[in-house]
Structure 1
Amino acid sequence: MMFKVFYQENPNEPPVRERTKTFFVEAESEREVREKLKGRSINIEYIQPISGPFYEFEKQSENFSVLEK
């Protein structure tokens, strides 16, 4: 399953919508996504599972990137 991760690069600042970035992680569950991101210095705002037409739409974006771990 694919998950879209919304995050802030600076974990010490409060989330600001204009600074929110995203990337995608392939995992079996949200817990597994969090485990994969455990050592990163980011502030995770939200993890959203995506599939079907939503995933196909996201793949068309020029900013689409899947985290490899």
Structure 2
Amino acid sequence: MIYKVTYQESKKEVPRREATHALYIDAESPIQVRELITAHTPYNIEYIQELDEAHLAYEQKNPDFELTEFDA
């Protein structure tokens, strides 16, 4: 499944909507997504959303769409 994760780049700063970023990741479950991001980044995860086919097709139209991969 492809998941969209909205996050803040730092856990040390107060979250602001203007500083929210998104990444897309292919994983088995939301739990695996959280584990991968927690292990490889200092990000403050706001929301993890599973994308259905229609939503994924919409997101892929954005030229900045890119699946994030982490080294094992």
Size of the aligned set, in residue pairs, is 69
After the TM superposition, list the runs of 4 or more consecutive aligned residues in structure 1 that deviate by more than 4 angstroms.
none
Name the TM-score, length of structure 1 as normaliser: 0.93
| Partner-residue secondary structure (3-state), 1:37 | helix
Alignment match, 1:59 = 60
Q: CA deviation at 1:66?
A: 0.8
Unaligned runs of 5+ residues in structure 2 are none
What do you get for the CA RMSD once the two structures are aligned?
A: 0.9
Larger helix percent: 2
Q: Percent identity?
A: 38
Q: What is the TM-score of this pair, normalised by structure 2? A: 0.89
Question: How big is each residue's C-alpha offset from its partner over 1:24-63, in whole Å with a ceiling of 9 and x where there is no partner?
Answer: 0101110010111122111100001102110000011012
